[in-house]
Amino acid sequence: MAESINESDNVALTDDDLETENKGKLIKKAGQLRDRRNELNQMASERASKRDELNAKTREKVDEAQEHREKRDELNEQVQEHKKKRNDLNAKANELFDKVDGLKDDLELNEGKSVEQLKKEIEELEFKQQTEVLSTEDERELIEKIEQKREKLAERKEKLDQSGDLEDVKEKAQEVRAQASEHHQKVTELADKAQEHHNQMIEAYREADEIRDDADEWHEKFVEAQEAADRHHEDFVRVQKRLREMDKEEESERKEEREAKKEEARAEAEEIYEAFQNGETLDTEDLMKLQKTGLL
């Protein structure tokens, strides 16, 4: 930051100086005022350049922030588009999964054990029949259990064979859900990018504010130097005006002096002329005085 003006370097001028100082001192004072004015004008120019440079950087940062704002808004629009598609697809997937559940209810597939469970239980019972020594009664009960489970397995398989539409609907529901997930992923990615541009926008505005503050300080220093330069210029003009007045006064005094000398010379010449008329003899100097005044 530029330092404040050193007041001790400034040149002071009072009304009393203008009235009482002689011409020589005023000429010197005018030179000092002119030199200090030029120095201050140069200082003001340098400070204005620094201010303008900082203002240009401020505009660059504001433009940068605006670019990030536009990119953020563009990305947020895309986020909203993908959100809508995701929500629409999730709603559609939910409808399809509800339909799957409805079909399962119709086929009673939600009740009882699965094919895999039934097969496993049958294998376990058959293994028990083959490996264990059982009484006739226990073996008969075991065989009945195996037959019952085989019947349930057959029923289950038959229902599954009738559930072709269900599998198609289920596959479609899963496909739609996967599409919704893809859009959700895009929402996340785009939202992250939008946040990055938002953060960069905030940072650019913050930097612009800091640079603008510096520019304002340089402007204050420019005004300080320019006002000081203007004061010195005004005082310089005042001294110049006073010097012109003094020149006029001196010229007037010289003119009056010349007129007085002419009048004196004429009076002297008239005395010489009168003496000449009275018969006195004139010397060369007297004749020259008569010639100068036009009396001879």
For residue 1, what pLDDT band results from cuts at 50, 70 and 90?
low
The Cα-based distances of 203 to 43, 63, 67, 261 in angstroms read 33, 12, 13, 86
pLDDT tens figures, 176-229? 999 999 999 999 999 999 999 999 999 999 999 999 999 999 999 999 999 999
Q: Which residue in this structure is represented by tokens 């505005």?
A: 205
At CA 185, angle to CA 182 and CA 189, rounded to 5?
140
Q: Which residue has the higher pLDDT, 288 or 244?
A: 244
pLDDT beyond 80 at 82: yes
How far apart are the C-alpha atoms of 226 and 238, rounded to whole Å?
A: 18
pLDDT at 78: 97
pLDDT beyond 70 at 243: yes
How far apart are the C-alpha atoms of 250 and 26, rounded to whole Å?
A: 15
Q: Which residue has the higher pLDDT, 80 or 254?
A: 80
pLDDT at 112: 59
pLDDT at 64: 97
pLDDT at 291: 78
pLDDT at 202: 98
pLDDT at 53: 97
pLDDT at 39: 95
How much is the average pLDDT of 224-241? 96
pLDDT at 190: 97
pLDDT tens figures, 96-124? 988 877 766 655 544 556 667 888 988 98
For residue 248, what pLDDT band results from cuts at 50, 70 and 90?
very high
pLDDT at 107: 54
pLDDT beyond 90 at 161: no
Burial of 63 (0-12, 13-18, 19+ CB in 10 A): exposed
58-65: long-range contacts (C-beta < 8 A, 24 or more apart)?
58/208, 58/211, 58/212, 58/215, 61/204, 61/205, 61/207, 61/208, 61/211, 62/204, 62/205, 62/208, 64/204, 65/200, 65/201, 65/202, 65/204, 65/205, 65/208
pLDDT beyond 90 at 37: yes
pLDDT tens figures, 259-281? 888 888 788 778 777 777 777 77
pLDDT beyond 70 at 235: yes
Q: Which residue has the higher pLDDT, 153 or 63?
A: 63
How far apart are the C-alpha atoms of 147 and 143, rounded to whole Å?
A: 6
pLDDT beyond 70 at 295: no
pLDDT tens figures, 200-211? 999 999 999 999
For residue 57, what pLDDT band results from cuts at 50, 70 and 90?
very high
How much is the average pLDDT of 54-59? 97
- Joined together, the tokens standing for residue 286 give 């007297």
**In the chain, % of residues over pLDDT 70:** 91
pLDDT at 72: 97
Assessment of whether the complete model's pTM goes beyond 0.75: no
